[in-house]
Copies of this chain bind each other. A is one copy, B any other.
Amino acid sequence: MSTAASTTPTERPLRADARRNREKIVSAARQIVGEHGEAAQIDDVARLAGVGVGTVYRHFPNKEALMGELVRMCVVECTAIAEQCASIEDPWDAFAGMVRSSCERMAADAAMRRTWQAADDAAVAYAAPVKAELHDAAELLIRRAHESGELRPDFTVDDMGGLMCGLGAAIDAMPEPDERWRRLVEFALDGLKPH
């Protein structure tokens, strides 16, 4: 039994080339989803990644799982932004910085805003654990801004999801080359200051 238990069934090292392919697949998926949104096809992802379709399905049991991984990556990036902004001294600048940087990221990377729309419930559930971290990181910034009196008290962490979804949709709805969306973000931030 002890010898049989030496292999860890929950986690295995993953071969070198397999690891490389996995990264290529995820990277390609990001680009394809950014271009085609929900209509993204596994076939296109495989072609862009330079691998066969079977390889995609070796790494992800189905399309849903691949989407879930993309969602997870987006959440991780957002968390990184939030934690990075935590080092800003002024509480309001820290909060506003998180919102601005996140929007900047969404505007620059179509996958960032389209992934949420393309993901179904199962994919979102897959990212639940990392989502908790994002929640905590955002809550910290919001509490600091509340305490300094620069953020209206009736705005809570639970409103962040709606806010960012709304800003993402607004950015998506505006002609890309123009950067008129920046103004809308500032309008929203002004609305979040104490009335």
CB <8 Å contact, B159 and A183: yes
CB <8 Å contact, A163 and B170: yes
Selected contact of A117 from candidates B117, B154, B174, B181, CB within 8 Å: B117
Measured CB to CB, the closest approach of chain B to A181, in angstroms, equals 7
Contacts of A163 in B (CB 8 A): 170, 184
A156 and B139 CA atoms in complex are apart in Å by 33
Interface-facing stretch out of A77-85, A129-137, A186-194: A186-194
CB <8 Å contact, A172 and B165: yes
Contacts of A15 in B (CB 8 A): none
- Which A residues from 70 to 122 make CB contacts under 8 A with B? 117
CB <8 Å contact, A181 and B162: yes
Measured CB to CB, the closest approach of chain B to A155, in angstroms, equals 7
Chain copies in complex? 2
Contacts of A53 in B (CB 8 A): none
Contacts of A170 in B (CB 8 A): 162-163, 165-166, 169
A15 and B166 CA atoms in complex are apart in Å by 44
CB <8 Å contact, B184 and A173: no
What are 26 sample pairs from A and B whose C-beta atoms fall under 8 A apart? A117-B117, A152-B187, A158-B180, A159-B180, A159-B183, A161-B174, A162-B170, A162-B173, A162-B184, A163-B184, A165-B169, A165-B170, A165-B173, A166-B167, A166-B170, A166-B173, A168-B169, A169-B170, A187-B191, A188-B188, A188-B191, A189-B191, A190-B190, A190-B191, A190-B195, A191-B191
Taking Cβ atoms with an 8 Å cutoff, the residues of A that contact B are: 38, 117, 152, 154-155, 158-159, 161-163, 165-174, 180-181, 183-184, 187-192, 195
